[in-house]
Chain A
Amino acid sequence: MSKTSRTSITMPATAKKDSIIEIRAIAQHDMESGFRYTEGGKLIPRDIIRTFTCTYNNIEVFKADFYSGIGANPLIIFTTVAVESGTLQFKWIGDDGYEAVNQARITVS
């Protein structure tokens, strides 16, 4: 079963060449830690996003591995150098076939 959810990217649409831009990426996800119990005492299985990658014109510029210590609706803020105009693609991959992709365009002058 494959799952997906809403994601959101916040970053500037335009930037000066070689300037550093800040990117905020958030995905809607419960990040069930696998350490919680139901009232009946049953362990709730782990269901989290495992990896996040950011590619800039198909070149990987940032990657992160998430564990159960990341809070629900994981937000990650990182930076990259605006080298050229193009597309940034963001991809989240998680348990139970979870996959979400988002894109943002940037114009570099």
Chain B
Amino acid sequence: MNKMTHQHRRHWFKQVQGLGLLAIGFCVNPLAAFAKKEDANEAIKKIVGGATVRTGKVTLTIPPLVENGNLVVLKVSVDSPMSANDYVKAIHVIAEGNPLPNIFTAYLTPRSGTANITTRVRLADSQTVWAVAQLSNGSFWQGSAETLVTLSACTEMV
């Protein structure tokens, strides 16, 4: 009796497993490559090396609710005087829910005048987007913004 139920359960499990694999084959295939929070942290670690990243100075603006993830207006600004000896060297933007977490890196100089960058990005999923700024004195600052994406980018077929 005990053995019977065991076999039955095993059979059922096999069927469910088959269904699961089928489902993966049909719709999750392109999604399988999505980055997770760890990948984003890894990307940030690669940028900053061993330095500590403090929160502040960086303001990241994205719409809180995005209808179409293919074109999202993203604005990043860093609070800095942009003088010859105190300026923002680089701004890195990282999306933790994209297949490739790096979105862009902007390299600035004192001649930039301000540290304001606006561009249009792709977001694959509802997620937190991070901006890491490297200042001329070697310190790193970060800011983040959360967003809800209803239609994901980069998963559609052609």
Interface residues of A (CB under 8 A from B): 20-21, 33, 35-39, 41, 44, 56, 59-72, 74-81, 83
Q: Which of A37, A41, A44, A70 contacts B120 (CB 8 A)?
A: A70
Contact between B106 and A62 (Cβ–Cβ < 8 Å)?
yes
- Closest Cβ of chain B: how far from A94's Cβ, in Å? 14
Give the B interface residue count (CB, 8 A). Answer: 38
B100 adjacent to A67 (CB under 8 Å): yes
A27 to chain B, nearest CB (A): 12
Task: Given A35-B33, A36-B154, A81-B113, verify A71-B121 contact (CB < 8 Å).
Answer: yes
B72 surroundings in chain A (CB, below 8 A): 71
In the complex, are the beta carbons of B29 and A37 less than 8 A apart?
A: yes
Q: In the assembled complex, which residues on chain A have CB atoms less than 8 Å from the CB atom of B133? A: none
Chain A, interface SS category: strand
Selected from A59, A67, A80, the residue in CB contact (under 8 A) with B113 is: A80
14 extra A-B contacts, CB within 8 A, seeds A64-B117, A81-B113: A36-B155, A36-B157, A44-B158, A56-B111, A62-B107, A62-B108, A62-B112, A64-B105, A69-B100, A69-B121, A71-B71, A74-B120, A78-B117, A83-B111
In the complex formed, the residue of B with least CB distance to A21 is: B113
Residues of chain A within 8 A of B119, CB atoms compared: 70, 74-77
In the complex, the answer to whether A64 meets B158 with C-beta atoms within 8 Å is no
Q: Check if B122 is an interface residue, CB within 8 A of chain A.
A: yes
Nearest CB to that of B107 among chain A residues?
A63
Show 22 residue pairs from A and B whose CB-CB distance is below 8 angstroms, ordered by the A residue.
A33-B99, A36-B158, A38-B158, A41-B29, A62-B108, A63-B107, A64-B104, A64-B106, A64-B107, A65-B105, A65-B107, A67-B103, A69-B103, A69-B104, A69-B121, A70-B103, A70-B104, A72-B70, A72-B71, A76-B118, A77-B119, A80-B112
